[in-house]
Amino acid sequence: MTIIDGKRISAEVKQELKEEVDKIRENGGKIPHLAAVLIGDNGASETYVASKIKSCEQIGFKSSLIRRGSETTEAEVLEIIDSLNKDEDVDGFIVQLPLPDHINVDKVIEAIDPKKDVDGFHPINVGRMAKGLPAYISATPFGVLELLKRYKIETAGKHCVVVGRSQIVGLPMSLLMARNDYPGNCTVTLTHSRTANLKEICQQADILVAALGRPEFIKADMVKEGAVVIDVGITRVKDETKKSGFAIKGDVAFEEVAPKTSFITPVPGGVGLMTVAALMYNTLLASKKAIY
């Protein structure tokens, strides 16, 4: 059994990006610039955005943080997006989700210029990705693909079971694993909260991607001997023994599942760090106008 080291791989990806930015700087080229919009006071979102800004600094990207309170109106958010769309120095930007309930998330995402949508959430990018056209691929699935690639995990002809059909992880993950490319060429089953016989389906997975957001939901009896298990879950649970007052739990009961697997990602230290690295990669693509 191999524990996939997201910390090492994300550091590798970021180092490669840093070397490329160093070269761009030496040649007097445009330094990639990522902007992040953070609305409200969701603790997890604050942590994620802080880690994105920190990664920009480590790599040598320029970054901007646009922060507003939870009372911000939808119109105000749309105005911020409009100005970022028009700002020629900003190569790409993200609006951190979730947004406060009074803001329509689809309206916000559709207002982002697809050329600057480095999260790959805009319907144009999702549609292009589904068609296999050049597109920004959303960061979490992109990060998972990169882990599979760098560990040279065989995917062709395998049965990949994705648990969870979210717009930003489960759905794109299922499309990417089915595409005619490496890593892909899987037979994919996309499961969700209404799936009958979920346990039996999971037991058939050569590659199991858990992305449902329920801590330690995937137990040992749901996993086939020798399976590759990718844990996308990041849930904060109260833990008084921790300084922060909470612990991060994945969707997989790691201790009992790991011994049955050939490869498994831990939480923390697995997919989460790759998400940030993939966003940085998309930002470099945006600054190079590599997609559009």
* The residue type at 276: V
Structure tokens at 181: 């490319």
Q: Any catalytic annotation for residue 18?
A: no
CB 87 within 8 A of CB 100: no
CB 234 within 8 A of CB 267: yes
How many chain residues touch ligand GUN (CB under 6 A)?
A: 9
Based on the shown chain and the rule CB under 6 A, indicate whether residue 235 belongs to the binding site for ligand GUN.
no
Q: Which region, judged by CB under 6 A, interacts with ligand GUN, from 23-31, 72-80, 90-98, 223-231?
A: 90-98
Based on the shown chain and the rule CB under 6 A, indicate whether residue 283 belongs to the binding site for ligand GUN.
no
Based on the shown chain and the rule CB under 6 A, indicate whether residue 94 belongs to the binding site for ligand GUN.
yes
- How many Å apart are CA 268 and CA 186, to the nearest integer? 27
Q: Binding residue for ligand GUN (CB under 6 A) from 10, 55, 96, 155?
A: 96
Give residues with Cβ within 8 angstroms of 280, minimum separation 6: 13, 14, 17, 34, 55, 56, 59, 61
* DSSP code string of 168-233: TTHHHHHHHHHSSSSS---EEEEE-TT-TTHHHHHHT-SEEEE-S--TT-B-GGGS-TT-EEEE--
Q: Beta strands of 69-204 (E only): which ranges?
A: 92-95, 159-163, 187-191
Q: Binding residue for ligand GUN (CB under 6 A) from 97, 178, 201, 247?
A: 97
**Does 262 count as an annotated binding residue?**
no
**Does 234 count as an annotated binding residue?**
yes
Rank residues 100 and 198 by Cβ distance to ligand GUN and give the closer one. 100
**Does 214 count as an annotated binding residue?**
no
Burial tier of 193 (Cβ tally within 10 Å: 0-12, 13-18, 19+): exposed
As measured in angstroms, the least distance from the Cβ of 232 to ligand GUN is 10
Structure tokens at 36: 């992040």
Based on the shown chain and the rule CB under 6 A, indicate whether residue 119 belongs to the binding site for ligand GUN.
yes
Q: Any catalytic annotation for residue 58?
A: no
Find the binding residues for ligand GUN in span 38-57 (CB under 6 A).
Answer: none
Find the binding residues for ligand GUN in span 131-190 (CB under 6 A).
Answer: 139-140, 168
Rank residues 56 and 95 by Cβ distance to ligand GUN and give the closer one. 95
Q: Any catalytic annotation for residue 96?
A: yes
Structure tokens at 173: 């993950």
Catalytic residue among 14, 52, 62, 158: 52
**Does 166 count as an annotated binding residue?**
yes
Rank residues 45 and 262 by Cβ distance to ligand GUN and give the closer one. 45
Provide the binding-site residues for ligand GUN, judged by CB under 6 A: 94-97, 119, 139-140, 168, 275
**Residue numbers belonging to the annotated binding site for NADP(+):** 164-166, 234
**Residue numbers belonging to the annotated binding site:** 164-166, 234
Q: Which residues are catalytic?
A: 52, 96, 119
